Amino acid sequence: MKELFLAILLVLSSTSLGDAAGLRPVPEGNRHVEQPKVPGASVRRTRAGRTTFDDKYDKIRDLLGKDKELIRKIKATASDYRIDPIHMVGAIVGEHTYNVDAYDRLQSYYIKAAAYAGDRFRFSYDDETISEFVARPQFSKCEGEDGSYGLWTCREAIWEDHFRGRTVGGVSFPDNRFSAVFFQPFYAGQTFGLGQVNPLTALMLSDIVSKTSGYPKLDEKDAAAVYEAIMDPDKSLAYMAAGIRKSIDDYASIAGVDISTNPGITATLYNTGGSHQRAAALRARGGMPTENYYGWLVNNKLEELKNLL
């Protein structure tokens, strides 16, 4: 009886938002006939690993195909966040095809997460911790924000407008993303775990994940706890689902567009981030969102990926 209930809930959760809200539904499939160009950084990373995108795709597909427990967890987490699990499968496949190599088994992700659990490190730049940095007066306007997503989105905007590539108070700040400057204590471009969530994204989604999945809220002063959350496969799935849910909600509420039935679009947004800003830009220009190289692969392989579920 419980399994029947979960199956019904999953069907209801994956129903197009446009059916009930009068949104403009994004057509299924890809708008681009051919795959958009893959960025050079991804190409170089893959070549350096002496592999190919096809090989990496096959590897993550096979991991998902043989790990029934992982698929069960994906389905359960997707149900919690009211999304179709294919969106999570698409994001995992995209990350491990273009950004990192998959481990051969899920247990390896747990082992890697445990290796970082006791590490002592902090989020900082030039000896200024992130908590000290956001205490600067420029960030005072963010204090009234409601929730972790609004708070960190505001702080990221302040970084872009007042600090990025500038010298402020005698400190020269790099012309780089907020997450790259303050939230990558090991090396640039760093994401971890099954979901490849970056620390700033995890902090943004902390309230949603805490409310929905019951995990403790994250604190920028505890960098180790943030990394543990995004590297542990079970918790990482929650942050993945929360990010996808947020993208779907942003496009619905801001642009009046339902992207919930196009995994290539949600995968594209998982890759690029910034769903709130991108939805606003779409509203301004009109039309429909289109997939990038990453989302194109997901839609192109969609029937094969659906079979994994």
pLDDT score for 230: 84
Closest CA to 28 of 280, 307, 258: 258
pLDDT score for 189: 47
Residue 111 banded pLDDT, cuts 50, 70, 90: low
pLDDT in tens, 194-250: 788 889 999 999 999 999 999 999 999 998 888 888 888 889 999 999 999 999 999
Report the half-sphere exposure of 283 (CA within 13 A, side-chain side): 16
What percent of the chain lies above the pLDDT cut of 90?
A: 65
Token couple for 135? 């205490």
Q: Alpha-carbon distance 86 to 71, whole Å?
A: 10
Q: Alpha-carbon distance 206 to 186, whole Å?
A: 22
Angle 85-98/53-66 helices, nearest 10 degrees?
140
pTM (2 decimals)? 0.86
Residues in a beta bridge with 97? none
Burial class of residue 145, CB neighbours in 10 A (0-12, 13-18, 19+): middle
Query: Which is more confidently placed, 293 or 41?
Result: 293
